């Protein structure tokens, strides 16, 4: 297994960083496709900030705002068709994981002819338009990863497109857009980011550089647990969560995720459970499973957060997540079977088999 670290996106950060860096926007192209969700980028001010910079730069743009949560292949093909029709030369994504991941796939499909059969192959050409990514949630880390995760109906799960050409050229981090984000979204996305860093440390592709970044990410995110529980966050804490999630993205860009994500995808695909929440429901049980084989690494992760046991960590997460969803025996077995076929599930330092996956899902979620 090659130990490797690579993350070529240029990250610009701080309050009002979009408005204070028009030159970077000018550089990416003349006609921009802006990919975003239905409304949040309008409400939080990020879309206005971007279009006013583009406008004052004399750039033109087309908005594709038809990205729903957990975007499908049909959605990104629709966006790619618009990109081609409008003859854009660059892409700006604004929003959470769904618009950002969709933007990468739209860009790829606008530049290259790729059949549905080959969409998840990773075997692409080199053509891609330059991209600027502006996360308005602090969870996915997509702004610094080479991944685009789409709903894959054939496999009845979510599957990732992965290629170094999918790294955005620039990421802009401004937690000012998150000040009025509802607390449930804030919690779910924070747990998603935390899960990225923890899963990154449990990945067989973990290395000392990714572990260094993961440790600081876990420190930043867990320092906000009390504020998340109280439901009141300062702007400074919003920035901590955002930096924590970008650092977590830098980790999984190199390590990938684990069976936690594989299993979580079924909760999202079949039960519409939010992605971050789905990870959080499974993460502590997965930690207990790994600790049977490698108590050292699990102990290190817990100690970064100041916990002595997995139970202590689980209690805190449960306090944030509230009442758990529950699954039937049949559902548990079906989702374990789907997860066992995923790439992520074989990516951890201990690889869970069907029986292990069934056990983990049962402990976490069986009725």
328 binds a second copy (CB under 8 A): no
What residues have CB less than 8 Å from 39, skipping those under 6 apart? none
The token pair at 75 is 């959605």
Of 69-77, 101-109, 112-120, 243-251, which segment contacts a second copy by CB under 8 A? 243-251
Give the residue with the Cβ less far from a second copy, 246 or 340: 246
Taking CB under 8 A as the criterion, the residue among 5, 19, 69, 72 binding a second copy is: 5
Give the residue with the Cβ less far from a second copy, 158 or 205: 205
Give the residue with the Cβ less far from a second copy, 209 or 350: 209
Give the residue with the Cβ less far from a second copy, 211 or 258: 211
Q: Name the nearest CA neighbour of 172 among 116, 223, 243.
A: 243
Taking CB under 8 A as the criterion, the residue among 86, 216, 318, 325 binding a second copy is: 216
**Under 8 Å between Cβ of 139 and 96:** yes
**Under 8 Å between Cβ of 164 and 145:** no
The secondary structure of 140-181 as a DSSP string is: --GGG-SEEEEEETTTTEEEEEE-GGGS-SEEEE-GGGGTT-
For the CB of residue 336, give the shortest distance to a second copy in the complex, in Å: 33
7 binds a second copy (CB under 8 A): yes
What spatial distance separates the first Cα and last Cα of the chain, rounded to whole Å?
A: 39
The secondary structure of 267-289 as a DSSP string is: HHHHH---HHHHHHHHHHHHHHH
205 binds a second copy (CB under 8 A): no
182 binds a second copy (CB under 8 A): no
208 binds a second copy (CB under 8 A): yes
Taking CB under 8 A as the criterion, the residue among 239, 265, 269, 313 binding a second copy is: 239
Binding-site size, a second copy (CB under 8 A): 29
- Count of positions (residues) in the chain: 367
326 binds a second copy (CB under 8 A): no
CA angle 251–128–28, rounded 5-degree value? 90
246 binds a second copy (CB under 8 A): yes
Q: Quote the crossing angle between the two packed helices 310-321 and 275-293, to the nearest 10°.
A: 170
305 binds a second copy (CB under 8 A): no
346 binds a second copy (CB under 8 A): no
Q: Name the nearest CA neighbour of 197 among 250, 243, 135.
A: 250
* Location of structure tokens 């999202």: 268
Give the Cα separation of 35 and 91 in Å (integer): 7
Alpha carbon separation from 185 to 5, 90, 95, 231 (Å, rounded): 30, 29, 13, 11
Give the residue with the Cβ less far from a second copy, 161 or 213: 213
Taking CB under 8 A as the criterion, the residue among 90, 188, 217, 340 binding a second copy is: 217
Give the residue with the Cβ less far from a second copy, 214 or 327: 214
118 binds a second copy (CB under 8 A): no
Taking CB under 8 A as the criterion, the residue among 30, 62, 112, 207 binding a second copy is: 207
349 binds a second copy (CB under 8 A): no
For the CB of residue 87, give the shortest distance to a second copy in the complex, in Å: 27
Binding site for a second copy (CB under 8 A): 2-14, 17, 20-21, 207-209, 212-213, 215-217, 220, 239, 243, 246-247
């Amino acid at each position: 297994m090659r130990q490797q670290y690579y993350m070529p996106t240029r990250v610009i950060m701080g309050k009002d960083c979009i408005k204070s860096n028009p030159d970077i926007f000018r550089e990416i192209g003349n006609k921009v496709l802006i990919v975003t969700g239905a409304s949040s980028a309008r409400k939080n001010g990020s879309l206005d900030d971007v279009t006013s910079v583009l406008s004052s730069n004399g750039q033109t743009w087309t908005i594709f705002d038809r990205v729903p949560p957990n975007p499908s292949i049909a959605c990104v093909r629709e966006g790619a068709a618009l990109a081609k029709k409008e003859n854009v030369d660059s892409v700006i994504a604004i929003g959470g994981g769904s618009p950002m991941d969709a933007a990468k796939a739209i860009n790829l499909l606008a530049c290259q002819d790729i059949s549905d059969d080959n969409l998840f192959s990773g075997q692409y050409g080199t053509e891609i338009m330059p991209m600027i990514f502006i996360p308005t949630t602090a969870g996915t880390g997509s702004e610094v990863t080479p991944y685009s995760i789409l709903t894959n109906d054939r496999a009845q799960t979510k599957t990732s497109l992965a290629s170094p050409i999918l790294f955005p050229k620039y990421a802009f981090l401004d937690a000012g857009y998150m000040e009025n984000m509802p607390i449930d979204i804030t919690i779910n996305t924070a747990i998603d980011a935390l899960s990225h860093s923890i899963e990154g440390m449990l990945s067989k592709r973990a290395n000392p550089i990714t572990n260094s970044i993961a440790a600081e990410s876990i420190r930043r995110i867990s320092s906000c647990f009390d504020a998340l529980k109280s439901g009141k966050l300062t702007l400074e804490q919003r920035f901590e969560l955002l930096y924590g999630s970008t650092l977590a993205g830098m980790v999984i860009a190199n390590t990938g995720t684990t069976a936690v994500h594989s299993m979580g995808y079924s909760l999202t695909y079949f039960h519409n459970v939010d992605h971050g929440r789905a990870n959080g429901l499974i993460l502590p049980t997965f930690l207990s499973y790994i600790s049977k084989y490698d108590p050292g690494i699990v102990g290190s992760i817990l100690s970064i957060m100041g916990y002595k046991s997995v139970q202590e960590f689980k209690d805190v997460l449960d306090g944030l997540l509230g009442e758990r969803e529950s699954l039937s025996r049949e559902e548990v077995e079906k989702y374990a079977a789907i997860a066992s076929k995923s790439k992520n599930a074989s990516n951890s330092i201990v690889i869970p088999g069907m029986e292990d996956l069934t056990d983990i899902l049962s402990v976490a979620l069986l009725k």
